[in-house]
Amino acid sequence: MEHNHTLEHAAAALTQLPAAAREWLSPIRDDDQLDRALEAQAYLGRLVAGDLHHPLAPIYAGLIEKIQAYETEHFPTEPTPPHVMLGFLMDQQGVRQHELAQRMQLHQSNVSRLVSGHKVFTADLIKQLSEIFKVPPAVFIG
């Protein structure tokens, strides 16, 4: 009996929430609602400020999950090919092909073939590259 009363009280409280607050609890259905959810996420993020015990922390976490679910469904991203990731990391870290060839003990032509996508990334190459660039091996598995 006590449990039913608690449920009734909780349901009544939810019906009294402003529409904007109820929207934070609902699935995201369109881009306009996504925009509002992103604004709410930023606002709640400032309020919660990393405090897992903040009363709004569960709402904040749920909102993040809803945003991620909507973006994954509506804005899917293709995996980055390994040679594109290698080129990006080389640019980002200022590593030239001849330097990478020396560090990997490969001929520069093989590094050039890796960067251009004409050479297959083997498990050994992936291991070496992940150690050199200090990234997880999965980065090179497109």
**∠48-61-9 over CA atoms, to 5°?**
90
Q: Which of 74, 99, 129 is the last residue of a domain?
A: 74
The domain of 122 spans 82-140
Which CATH number does the domain housing residue 99 bear?
1.10.260.40
Digit-coded pLDDT (tens) for 100-141 = 999 999 999 999 999 999 999 999 999 999 999 999 999 998
CB 139 within 8 A of CB 130: yes
Which tens digits make up the pLDDT trace of 73-94? 999 888 899 999 999 999 999 9
pTM equals 0.56
Distance between CA atoms of 111 and 24, rounded to whole angstroms? 50
